[in-house]
Amino acid sequence: MRSAYPIYNTVWAAALAAAAPLAPLLLLSGPRFRAGALQRLGWYPALPAGGKKRPIWIHAASVGEVTGTRELTARLKKEFPGRPIVLSAFTHTGHLTARRDPHADMVVYPPLDLVWIVRSALARFDPAALVVIETEIWPNLLREARRRGIPALLLSGRISTRSVRGYARWGRLFREALSCFNALGMQSREDAERIVRLGAEPSRVSVTGSLKLAAASPTRTPRAEGGRLWVAGSTHRGEEEIVLRAFASLKRSFPDLRMALAPRHPERFAEVEKLIGAEGLDFDRKSRLDGRLTGAKDVTLVDTLGDLVDLYAAADVAFVGGSLVAAGGHNLLEPARCRKPVLFGPHTEHFAEIAARLKEAGGGIEIRGEHDLAREIGALLADAELCRSVGERAYGAASQDPEVLDRSVALLARYLETGAA
């Protein structure tokens, strides 16, 4: 059977050539496009001095996946002392989040999936193992790792029903890429069945669980100033207008209610600021509050990174974005672990199993739009006991699964203990 890689590489090279004239514009379009440009072309600094063993390279996509690796990197440092950890994230916000991981020896952007760039990156790092988180499947990276004898593992693997249809369009190429994995640890039995249908070798597939379930619950409960607080986290374009209108409606019944609004993408802060003003609401920027969690005005625009969990912990109720628009949803576990009622829209493909668990337990509420959102939050704010009990049920559904780490690390250890220097 003829390989699909030549077609894939031809398309990639043609796309890069077509985009080359636009490169100066992209570099001037802000840090989201400019950051890591040289690294994406394969130019990486040397690993920090002192490491006597080959590193473990862990690759994740964005904020949620990077956050899910925090417990993994901590365990790997404990289990394999002296082995450096290279952590790569595809998005700019993911990269910024990765830099907060104290267990990562180097944080980088991944190489573009072109053969000569991938080869340069692998030669630079020479990892003992390549660990891919969730669904970051790059064909050339995987094939070149196999050619160099570097074991590749998929951990916390996730394949949604929607993704199956998308990957199936790539047919042969996707099957070839999957064949490069030495082992695939999937989040659930359904994920395992789907990836086998897409071409993974069944003997290499197991269920290890979601690394997001390995994260510990917050141990402190910061408090926000003023009255009741609604946190709308990781919102996307098309969602802020909905939550702001719902908030303005609720203010008539709950004058002490305030909102912390955290857009998913930093480059949209100025855009969201205008939307808040258009609703006639007063607001503070989180970056100007001298370390305070929220301001005294109607809305706190969260234009900082790393504060969302503290805000969820201080909230009365939480809405998680990326779910009223077709973005697949974001981390529902963070507010649930803070014992908060969790509201979200119908688009939770990236967290389908967790969304189902929250709804079944009565700790998660799926809404369809502005009126649903205002009605459900209003009911929770009007009944403190209901709000508390829904939050407790959310916490129960998001309980920690420490065995996820045990299974994931045990899978990786098979390859680190069989001759990887």
> Which residues carry out catalysis?
65
How far are the Cα atoms of 171, 198, 272, 325, 330 from residue 167, in angstroms, in the given order? Answer: 7, 8, 34, 21, 21
Amino acid at the residue 262: A
| Closest CA relative to residue 59, chosen from 1, 120, 145, 187 | 145
Phi, psi of 397 (to 5 degrees): -75, -20
Q: Which residues pair with 85 in a beta bridge?
A: 56
Residue 138 DSSP label: -
How far are the Cα atoms of 11, 17, 123, 139, 346 from residue 6, in angstroms, in the given order? Answer: 9, 16, 22, 11, 39
Query: Can you tell me the distance from the alpha carbon of 109 to that of 127, in angstroms, rounded to the nearest whole number?
Result: 15
Pair of tokens at residue 191: 């994920």
Pair of tokens at residue 50: 């002192």
Q: Which residues pair with 319 in a beta bridge?
A: 232, 343
Query: Can you tell me the distance from the alpha carbon of 192 to that of 207, in angstroms, rounded to the nearest whole number?
Result: 7
As a residue count, the chain comes to 421
Element (H, E) at 335: helix 333-337
Burial of 58 (0-12, 13-18, 19+ CB in 10 A): buried
CB atoms within 10 A of CB 289: 15
Residue 41 DSSP label: T
Q: How far is CA 139 from the centre of its chain?
A: 21
Quick check: helix, strand or coil at residue 365? strand
**Residues 101 and 58: beta-carbon distance below 8 Å:** no
Q: Residues 327, 333, 338, CA angle at the centre, nearest 5°? A: 135
